[in-house]
Copies of this chain bind each other. A is one copy, B any other.
Amino acid sequence: MSELRKDPLCERWVIISTERGRRPTDFKIEKAERKRGFCPFDPGNENYVPPEIYAVRKVGSVPNDSNWELRVVPNKFPALRIEGGLDKRGIGMYDMMNGIGAHEVIIETPNHDEMTGNMPFYRVRNIVTAYKERIADLHKDKRMKYVLVFKNFGVLAGASLEHSHSQLISLPILPKRVSENIKGAEMYYDYRGRCAICDMLQQELYSQERIVEENDSFVSLCPFASRFPFEMQIIPRGHQTHYEQQNEKTYNDFASILKSAIKKLAKALDNPPYNFVLQNAPFTKKCDDYYHWFLEIMPRLTRIAGFEWGSGFYINPTPPEEATKFLKNLTVD
B316 engages A14 (CB within 8 Å): yes
**Of A32-40, A110-118, A179-187, A253-261, the one with at least 4 CB within 8 A of chain B:** A179-187
The 5 listed contacts between A and B (C-beta, < 8 Å) are A10-B180, A21-B322, A27-B272, A93-B203, A304-B304
Taking the closest CB of chain B, its distance from the CB of A327, in whole angstroms, is 9
A303 engages B176 (CB within 8 Å): no
Query: In this complex, what residue of B is CB-closest to A223?
Result: B7
Q: Which of B24, B79, B272, B312 contacts A269 (CB 8 A)?
A: B24
Taking the closest CB of chain B, its distance from the CB of A100, in whole angstroms, is 14
A21 engages B310 (CB within 8 Å): no
Q: Which of B175, B197, B315, B319 contacts A313 (CB 8 A)?
A: B175
The bracket for how many chain A residues form the interface is 35 or more
CA distance A317 to B319 in the complex (A): 36
A28 engages B270 (CB within 8 Å): yes
Could you list which residues of chain A lie within 8 angstroms of chain B, going by C-beta atoms? 5-18, 20-24, 27-28, 30, 79, 91-94, 148, 150-152, 155-159, 167, 169, 171, 175-178, 180-181, 183-185, 188, 196-197, 199-200, 203, 207, 223-227, 229-230, 268-270, 272, 275-279, 296, 298, 301, 303-307, 309-320, 322, 326
B148 engages A180 (CB within 8 Å): no
CA distance A258 to B320 in the complex (A): 39
Copies of this polypeptide in the complex? 2
Indicate whether A22 sits within 8 Å of B93 (C-beta atoms), given known contacts A175-B313, A184-B8: no
Q: Which of B21, B226, B227 contacts A318 (CB 8 A)?
A: B21
Those 3 A-B pairs whose CB atoms lie nearest each other, nearest first: A158-B305, A150-B306, A176-B312
Indicate whether A14 sits within 8 Å of B225 (C-beta atoms), given known contacts A21-B319, A176-B312: yes
A229 engages B301 (CB within 8 Å): no
Q: Which of B16, B169, B185 contacts A307 (CB 8 A)?
A: B169
CA distance A322 to B13 in the complex (A): 19
A17 engages B315 (CB within 8 Å): yes
Taking the closest CB of chain B, its distance from the CB of A63, in whole angstroms, is 27
CA distance A12 to B296 in the complex (A): 15
Indicate whether A319 sits within 8 Å of B7 (C-beta atoms), given known contacts A150-B306, A169-B307: no
Which of A181, A200, A315 has the most chain B CB atoms inside 10 A of its CB?
A315
